[in-house]
Structure 1
Amino acid sequence: MLTQYIEQLEAVGLNFFFAAIFFFIGMAIHDVLKQGQVPKFGRYMVWLVLFMGCAGFIAKGIIQFYWESSGIG
């Protein structure tokens, strides 16, 4: 039974791995901004860029899911 779902398990595991990586990157950036005493505007710009990267990754996943479910890819 496990061999039937191994590809699906790999995809889910990879998505969780990327989510964990984004979390740890966010925590590292938070620590650097806090210790560097960065002004608020700079902090907002850094978090905006980080959020846009995450949003792009999520959008890629949604588009890929849509294409694969409709038979395009």
Structure 2
Amino acid sequence: MLVTDVAQLEAVGLNLFFAAVFFLIGMSIRDVLNKGDVPPFGRGIVWLVLFLGCAGFIAKGIIQLVWEGAGIG
């Protein structure tokens, strides 16, 4: 394998790792919310915060791809 292939494999693996971590966090939060009898407003706030965290990572990835493609970063 070439060095570029290894770097690309590492990048894909890291992205999959983050996706798995967010999935597991979501499952654990769902379990805690169900067992804790949290009201609907509180559930909405918790899911909004989790979604914004995921959206931040996605936005970071998109910005990174655009900047690297343009030769900025």
TM-score (structure 2 length as normaliser): 0.96
Q: Return the alpha-carbon distance in structure 2 between the equivalents of residues 69 and 29 of structure 1.
A: 36
| Match of residue 10 from structure 2 | 10
- CA root-mean-square deviation: 0.7
Q: Return the alpha-carbon distance in structure 1 between the equivalents of residues 53 and 7 of structure 2.
A: 26
Q: Which runs of 4+ in 1 moved over 3 A?
A: none
Query: Are 2:30 and 1:33 equivalent residues in the alignment?
Result: no
Q: Return the alpha-carbon distance in structure 1 between the equivalents of residues 16 and 65 of structure 2.
A: 16
| Match of residue 52 from structure 2 | 52
What stretches of structure 1 of length at least 5 have no aligned partner?
A: none
1:65 to partner: Cα distance: 0.4
Alignment size in residue pairs: 72
| Match of residue 19 from structure 1 | 19
What stretches of structure 2 of length at least 5 have no aligned partner?
A: none
